[in-house]
Amino acid sequence: MATSNDIKNGSVVKIDGQLWSVVEFQHVKPGKGGAFVRTKMKNVLSGKTVDRTFNAGTKLEFASVDRRDYQYLYNDGTGYVFMDLDTYDQITVADAIVGDASNFMLESTNVTVALNEGNPLYVELPASVVLEVTYTEPGLQGDRSTGGTKPATVETGYEIQVPLFLEAGTKVKVDTRTGDYLGRV
Concatenated DSSP letters of 93-154: E-HHHHGGGGGS--TT-EEEEEEETTEEEEEE--SEEEEEEEEEPPPPTTTTSSS-EEEEEE
**CATH code of domain 66-124:** 2.40.50.140
Q: Which CATH architecture is the domain 2-62 placed in? A: Roll (2.30)
The SS3 call for residue 12 is strand
What is the pTM (predicted TM-score) of this model? 0.74
**What CA–CA distances, in Å, run from 109 to 76, 106, 116, 127, 176?**
16, 6, 22, 13, 13
Topology match between the domains 66-124 and 128-184: yes
- Is residue 81 predicted with pLDDT exceeding 90? yes
Specify whether the CB–CB gap between 110 and 97 falls below 8 A: no
May I ask the CATH class of domain 128-184? mainly beta
- Is residue 116 predicted with pLDDT exceeding 60? yes
pLDDT given at position 17: 86
Boundaries of every domain in the chain: 2-62, 66-124, 128-184
pLDDT given at position 118: 83
pLDDT tens, residue by residue, 8-58? 887 889 988 888 888 899 999 998 888 999 999 988 877 788 999 999 888
Confidence category of residue 84, pLDDT binned at 50, 70, 90: very high
